[in-house]
Structure 1
Amino acid sequence: MKKSPLQTVIFVGALSCFGSVNAAEPRTALVPLPSIDDFTNGDGWGFGLGLGVEYETAYEGSDEFEFEVDPAGGVQYRTGDHLFFWAGEAIGWRTLVKDTWLFQSSIGYEEGREEGDSDDGRLDGLGDSRSGVTVLLEVRHALTEDWRYFLDGRVLTGEVGTLGIFGAGTCLACKPNGTGWEVGAVVTFHDGKLANRDFGVTTQQSIDSGLPATDVDSGYRSTGFNVSYRNYLHKNWQIFGEALYEAFGSEVSDSQITRNNYEAEIGVGFIYVF
Structure 2
Amino acid sequence: MADHSSHDDHGGHDDGPEPTRGYAPGGHGTPGGLALAANGLRLEPAATRFDPGESADWTYRIVGEDGRVVTDFEAAHGQRSHLILVRRDLTRFQHLHPDMESDGAWRVEGLSLPDPGVYRAFVDIVVDGQPTTLGFDLFASGPGEIEARPDSSHRATADGYDIELRTDGVAARERSRLTFEIRRDGEPVPELGAYLGALGHLVALREGDLAYLHVHPAETASDSGRVEFGARFPTPGRYRLFLQARPAGVLITTRFDVRVDA
Same fold (TM over 0.5): no
Give the structure with the larger helix fraction: 1
Q: TM-score, normalised by structure 1?
A: 0.26
Q: TM-score, normalised by structure 2?
A: 0.26
